[in-house]
Amino acid sequence: MSLSSHKTIPEGATLVDVRTPAEYAAGHIEGSLSIPLDTVPQALERFRSFQGPVVLICLSGNRSGQAAQWLQAQGLRNVENGGSWLSYRDEPV
């Protein structure tokens, strides 16, 4: 992993933003999906349907970390905490 401030999205990954709808509307990465943290349990089957890696992002990495831990506890192995969405904002999806 690079020590630069910008992260690279793995090829074929689904980028999921777990911030609130208001935060997402105020600015997000083009091509990312909005699934707010409080709706992640209801979206479990949607997460299971994603092909390839799933990178979860939020403002600081806290909420995306919570979502990643919960999804991994449900048996999903292709999810990771991507941290802050600001680290990816210049990356194409």
Active-site residue (options: 16, 54, 55, 58): 58
Phi, psi of 38 (to 5 degrees): -70, -5
Residues 7-35 have pLDDT tens digits of 777 888 999 999 999 999 999 998 999 99
The verdict on whether 58 is a catalytic residue reads yes
Residues 59-92 have pLDDT tens digits of 999 999 999 999 999 999 999 999 999 887 655 5
**The pTM is what?**
0.86
Which long-range contacts (C-beta less than 8 Å, at least 24 apart) are formed by 41-49?
A: 41/70, 44/71, 44/74, 47/16, 47/71, 47/76, 47/79, 48/76
What single DSSP character describes residue 2? -
